Chain A
Amino acid sequence: MIPFEYLEHTADIKFRAYGKTPAEMLSNAAAALFKSMVEPATIVVKETWKVELKAFDLEDLAYQWLCEIVFLFETESAVFATFSVNLEQDGTESMRLLAEIGGERIDLQRHSFENEVKAITRHKFGIKKNEVWCIQVILDV
């Protein structure tokens, strides 16, 4: 299983990320999102950030998760390389995501940026489970 792949899109960035579990899929989706912005090999994990999110279903949780990474990137001025995700059922009505993100503060001498991801779109955003879990995402760049 490949962790993620980018697909052709005329104007924006489209990717699919995979996982044997929903948590692994969300971790790989975060890696795909971040790789479109900055080369992960240039990032040294020096700090960690904790994320906790709640949503009604997995799709909403996934959307919030990716939005949160864009938000943290901009407001913390940090780049991320590791994404450890845990999912929990929170009662019968909602799901909870607990994650730890590893990365460092932006150093323009070392980090060269590829794309500015403005936002995560909901266009053709979706999750499917066949042999493995798969999420499709289009980023507005």
Chain B
Amino acid sequence: MAEISKINDNTYEVPIGYRPGMRVPGRIFVSAALRDMVESGTIDQVANVANLPGIVNYSMAMPDAHLGYGFPIGGVAAFREEDGIISPGGVGFDINCGVRLLRTDLQATSVQPRINTLIDALFEAIPSGLGATGRLHVSDQQLTDVFINGSQWAVEEGYGVEADLSHCEESGHMPGADPAQVSVRAHKRGRPQLGTLGSGNHFLEIQRVEEIYDEPVAKKFGLFKGQITVMIHCGSRGAGHQICTDHLEVLSRAVKKYNIDIPDKQLACAPLGSPEADNYFGAMVCAANYAWANRHIIAHWTREVFERYFPGSKLDLVYDVAHNVAKIEEHEVEGKRERLYVHRKGATRAFGPSRSEVLQAYAGVGQPVLIPGSMGTSSYVLCGNDRALDLTFGSACHGAGRVMSRSQALKLFTGQNVKAALNKDGIVVKATSPSMLAEEAPQVYKPSGDVVDVVHNLGIATKVARLVPLGVSKG
């Protein structure tokens, strides 16, 4: 078996031949310390993705890579429009799981004394956890509007303001939605869950800007030391999960129909241009738009809570990123512009100033790249660099990345002691389930700073600010 080789301090190559059928090599972007945390199963998944038709350059894994299903989590791969594929295994069930960051005009010193009350109010205002139903009651027709118009729908309904839209990736409504490809079952799951946070690693966090690394860019993003920010991490809820499940079944049949050899059933896919691929893409966009609307609504309720306790305070959107999605993008391949289907599964787009997709407000700088930490550890704001286009089709990590299983976490921690330890560090946590807290203990993740350093050192994205949690509301 071919051996993994070190290319440089932060890059390792998985050669063709590491696993049978690889069309291109794999690239894993990790430091030596993080390399030891990458399980062999994760490397196998990188190699499996390299089997897929039409893959360009490399099958890649970001520094937070860990074991997933189909693609690894932290996986990035781009496929040529002429002979490539699209695969739900490269997007995940939680389509457009993503992160939104709001900046306030409040100083931490004025918010910290009321953090308990604020977190309680947010926990109350934003439905979260299993079994919770949303505050919204939308009809099937309204849900179809959500699938097509995403955040635009939310703004028209009075959730958020027009200015928010330009501060979302894809302006919060990605073109190409085909609601006819969304099943009745997905409607049924999606309808009651619009405007809910969900559970697991999803959260709403009140943070303080602790450190600024790049003053001019921070200024452009509206960030300053001691400022209060709010981070929202969630996705497309049951609507997205069901859309993925439904189309996975169709694509499982498509691999037989089109004679595509896949090493993992979760990598079911269809050739680009085929009806099965078009239908999945159209449905995936619906879920992506649902997720943007969902984060928009949650942000609106967050603003309402802040208004109650800090009247006149301003919460503006820094940015909103999708980290589970497939996008049609133009990239340079061997000196030619090509249209590629870039799959990012647990990876964040990190476009630099040369890309037209970067919003006007941040022109000349690059897009904000939002990297949430685990509960209790720092989150980071970075700024996309053009160097990322050469290395990773403009992609960075999406978080810290798990290193410990849930069952192991439950053996080592209890919800109560995790909460007590966080309280000791001045972090208030409110969650529906104590075991969820134990499973999400800070120790089960890689250190977020180490992960972000790899991205920074490779020149994919530059560190702008570090945010520390003050209060967390979880499902």
Contact = CB atoms under 8 A, between A and B. Distances in A.
Interface string B245-261: 10011001000000000
B73 A116 contact: no
A75 B405 contact: no
B39 interface: yes
B94 A118 contact: yes
A104 B371 CA distance: 40
Interface residues of A, number: 35
Interface in B160-195: 185, 188-189, 193
Nearest to B268: A122
A12 interface: yes
Nearest to B244: A119
A77 B241 CA distance: 16
Contact of B405 (A10, A70, A74): A10
Given A118-B93, A119-B93, A111 B131 contact: yes
B199 A11 contact: no
A140 B198 CA distance: 14
Nearest to A75: B188
Contacts of B329: none
A8 interface: yes
Contact of A37 (B94, B130, B133, B188): B130
B433 A113 contact: yes
Contacts of A118: 93-94, 200, 241
Nearest to A59: B265
B20 to A, nearest CB: 17
A49 interface: no
A50 to B, nearest CB: 17
A51 interface: no
A1 interface: no
A114 to B, nearest CB: 5
Interface string A19-48: 000000000000000000110000000000
Given A106-B131, A125-B265, A113 B70 contact: no
B265 A10 contact: no
Given A116-B199, A122-B268, A140 B69 contact: yes
Nearest to A68: B185
Contact of B200 (A75, A111, A116, A122): A116
A125 B249 CA distance: 13
Interface string A115-137: 11011111111000000000000
B131 A77 contact: yes
A2 interface: no
Nearest to B236: A118
A114 B435 contact: yes
A77 B191 CA distance: 13
Contact of B241 (A11, A12, A13, A119): A119
A8 B67 CA distance: 12
Nearest to A64: B249
Interface in B258-280: 264-266, 268
A70 B94 CA distance: 14
Considering residues B67, B130, B268, which has the most beta carbons from chain A within 10 angstroms of its beta carbon?
A: B130
A19 to B, nearest CB: 22
A24 B371 CA distance: 45
B173 to A, nearest CB: 23
Interface in A45-90: 63, 67, 70-71, 74-75, 77
B92 interface: yes
A77 B129 CA distance: 13
Given A113-B130, A115-B406, A121 B266 contact: yes
A118 B434 CA distance: 19
Given A122-B248, A123-B265, A140-B93, A11 B73 contact: yes
Contacts of A112: 433-435
Considering residues B189, B245, B407, which has the most beta carbons from chain A within 10 angstroms of its beta carbon?
A: B245
B107 interface: no
A9 B402 CA distance: 10
A120 B242 CA distance: 10
A112 B433 CA distance: 7
B433 A114 contact: yes
Contacts of A63: 249
Nearest to A120: B245
A8 B193 CA distance: 31
A122 B292 CA distance: 27
Contacts of A74: 189, 193, 238
B475 interface: yes
A71 B92 CA distance: 17
Interface in B102-158: 129-133
Contacts of A75: 185, 188-189
7 contacts: A71-B188, A74-B193, A112-B434, A113-B199, A114-B435, A122-B248, A122-B265
